[in-house]
Structure 1
Amino acid sequence: MKIRLIDGIEVQRGSDNVFADLGLPDADKLKIKTGLVIEIRKAMSNGGLTQQEAAKRMGITQPKVSDMMRGDFTNLSERKLMDCLTRLGYDIEIKVRPAKAEVGHLMLAAA
């Protein structure tokens, strides 16, 4: 990565995955889960749902929704987060195609 100097501070452009840039384990998984939680938050906001109402629709407890809204979603799998989104009225499409590089990657694209 190219490093630039801006106002005496070294600046380096990151990748498209801040978790990988920070060297966190399971960075791809964290990126996907974060993207799903962002979409859940949008769905709740767009639907005017309280945490209690959203919890009932998603089939989880209100404390789990509260944890999710505060950024703690370690207790929820990617599959469960996708299930929550579908219960909130969203379609999820998974595409599989050959990678351009030797090793492929996971990506979440929200409309």
Structure 2
Amino acid sequence: MRRATVTKGSGNIFRDLGFSDERSAELILKSSLLQALQDTIRSHAWKQAEAATRLGIDQAKVSKLLSGQMAGFSVERLVHFLSLLGQDVEVTVRQAPRGQRYGTVRSKVARRSRTGRRARSENVS
């Protein structure tokens, strides 16, 4: 039996798939915003039609969002959708560590406990 070769990832799945640093940073951010949007819709048990009404889009677009399709939705639009659903979105900008040529894009989604209080934060990048 042959041994499988395992390569450790960089921590950024999109970079590992061959996307440019710029595009992979955008996709990391979009995927975490999309996950937060999906979590919000599902936690309220809204039907797609109800979510569509709240977001001001048609049901077919909600279906795309819930199935993880990010194409056609900008970061700005996903942030707007989260705001419409009563979610706060926070962006923090700080100096990159000394000696690091480029900054890093990270995303944190605060998870809520069943009581509605903030539980822990999870770094998704």
Structure 1 and Structure 2 fold alike (TM over 0.5):
yes
Match of 2:49?
52
* CA-to-aligned-CA distance 1:14-57 (integer Å, 9 cap, x gap): 12210110102411111111111111110011111111111111
Match of 1:65?
62
Q: How big is the shift at 1:71?
A: 2.2
Q: How big is the shift at 1:65?
A: 0.8
* CA-to-aligned-CA distance 1:65-110 (integer Å, 9 cap, x gap): 1111222221110000011111111101110100112200211101
Runs of 4+ more than 4 Å apart: none
Verify: 1:13 aligned to 2:8, yes or no.
yes
Measure, in 2, the Cα distance between the counterparts of 1:98 and 1:27. 20
2:81 partner letter: C
TM-score of the superposed pair, with normalisation by structure 1: 0.87
Q: Percent identity?
A: 33
TM-score of the superposed pair, with normalisation by structure 2: 0.78
Measure, in 2, the Cα distance between the counterparts of 1:87 and 1:57. 7
Aligned length: 105
Consecutive unaligned residues of structure 1, counting only runs of 5 or more, are 1-6
Consecutive unaligned residues of structure 2, counting only runs of 5 or more, are 111-125
